[in-house]
């Protein structure tokens, strides 16, 4: 016996989504939601690419201990910037993205982090996930930022078929829940993926929404 995914079409509608949200609110999922500065979320999103959370968080802390404004970051020489974020991996590329993003914000947005998804995604090194993180945590706008954890959880629950893009997962979750619930759902699904619905050895018996899930034990015999 092992855990496999049912080959299903989307199974979550608005009624089932409401039950999922209710059980998540009643369960033991940590869905704390703290606003941060848009710049910190933006740089953190760039640093988080292709690395573990602990590495990106350490790099972000080191960088912001030396420079916590756009102009402060631009004042760092390239080698200093690279050394501060080295622990995040791919540090030369990320340093180029960070410098390019800060420069674009100064030149195109009068030194302020833009607050629309399209403008954010036009910045160097900024993709859909980072843009949605900035909107959600930086500007407190309702958005689902689909990272590896939310991507896995949402498909297991059945918001989309197993084969789906990150954008399809985002659209499906946002279509099933009212806007006022999106910040909670973003934080709750992220926490669920990190702590319970893990990639390997998920803790299904501890999951508050196990009865709503399409990730089940199937015999291989």
Q: What is the mean pLDDT of each run of 10 residues along the chain (221 residues)?
A: 50 92 89 88 96 95 97 97 97 98 98 97 97 96 95 94 94 96 95 93 91 64 41
Convert the pLDDT of each residue in 50-108 to its tens digit: 999 899 999 999 999 999 999 999 999 999 999 999 999 999 999 999 999 999 999 99
Q: Which of 95, 114, 138 is the last residue of a domain?
A: 138
Tell me whether strands 2-5 and 215-218 are parallel, antiparallel or unpaired. antiparallel
**204 and 130 housed in the same domain:** no
Do residues 43 and 108 both lie within one domain?
Answer: yes
115 and 61 in a common domain: yes
Q: Are residues 49 and 106 in the same domain?
A: yes
Q: How many domains does the chain have?
A: 2
User: What integer pLDDT is reported at residue 151 of this predicted model?
Assistant: 97
Co-location of 112 and 21 in the same domain? no
Tell me the CATH number at 115.
1.10.340.30
163 burial type by CB count under 10 A (0-12 exposed, 13-18 middle, 19+ buried): exposed
Mean predicted lDDT score pLDDT of the chain: 91
- Residues serving a catalytic function are 129, 147
* The predicted structure's pLDDT at residue 4: 53
Question: Is the entire prediction scored with pTM above 0.85?
Answer: yes
pLDDT at 221: 41
Contacts of 205 (CB under 8 A, 6+ apart): none
Residues 64 and 105 in one domain: yes
| Whether 184 and 123 share a structural domain | no
Report the C-alpha gap between 33 and 55 in whole angstroms: 21
Out of 94, 116, 138, a domain closes at: 138
Longest Cα pair distance anywhere in the chain, in angstroms?
Answer: 63
Give the per-residue pLDDT at 200.
Answer: 87
Please check whether residues 133 and 64 belong to one and the same domain.
yes
42 and 134 co-located in one domain: yes
Residue 185: the pLDDT is 96
**Co-location of 159 and 80 in the same domain:** no
In the listed set 109, 138, 167, which residue is the last one of a domain according to the structure?
138
- 64/96 same-domain check: yes
Burial class of residue 106 in the structure, from the number of CB atoms within 10 Å of its CB (0-12 exposed, 13-18 middle, 19+ buried): middle
Closest CA to 215 of 188, 189, 197: 197
Given this model, what pLDDT does residue 117 score?
97
Domain check: are 111 and 53 in the same one? yes
CATH number of the domain at 155, please: 1.10.1670.10
Whether residue 169 contacts residue 154, with contact meaning beta carbons closer than 8 Å, is answered with yes
> In whole angstroms, what is the distance from residue 18 CA to residue 186 CA?
14
Domain span including residue 190? 2-33+143-218
Q: CB–CB of 2/220 below 8 Å?
A: yes
């Amino acid at each position: 016996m092992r855990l496999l995914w049912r080959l299903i079409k989307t199974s979550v509608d608005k009624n089932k989504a409401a039950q999922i949200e209710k059980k998540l609110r009643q369960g033991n999922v940590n869905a704390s939601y703290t606003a941060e500065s848009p710049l910190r979320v933006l740089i953190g999103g760039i640093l988080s690419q292709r690395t573990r959370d602990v590495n990106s968080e350490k790099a972000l802390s080191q960088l912001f201990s030396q420079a916590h404004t756009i102009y402060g970051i631009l004042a760092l020489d390239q080698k200093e910037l690279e050394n501060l974020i080295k622990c995040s991996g791919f540090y030369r590329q990320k340093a180029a993205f960070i410098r390019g993003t800060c420069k674009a914000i100064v030149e195109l947005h009068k030194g302020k982090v833009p607050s629309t998804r399209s403008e954010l995604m036009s910045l160097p090194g900024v993709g859909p996930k980072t843009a949605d993180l900035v909107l959600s945590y930086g500007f407190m706008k309702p958005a689902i930022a689909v990272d590896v954890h939310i991507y896995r959880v949402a498909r297991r629950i059945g918001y989309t078929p197993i084969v789906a893009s990150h954008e399809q997962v985002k659209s499906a979750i946002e279509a099933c829940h009212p806007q006022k619930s999106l910040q909670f759902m973003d934080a709750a699904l992220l926490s669920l993926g990190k702590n319970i619905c893990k990639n390997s050895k998920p803790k299904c018996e501890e999951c508050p929404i196990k009865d709503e899930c399409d990730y089940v034990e199937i015999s291989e015999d």
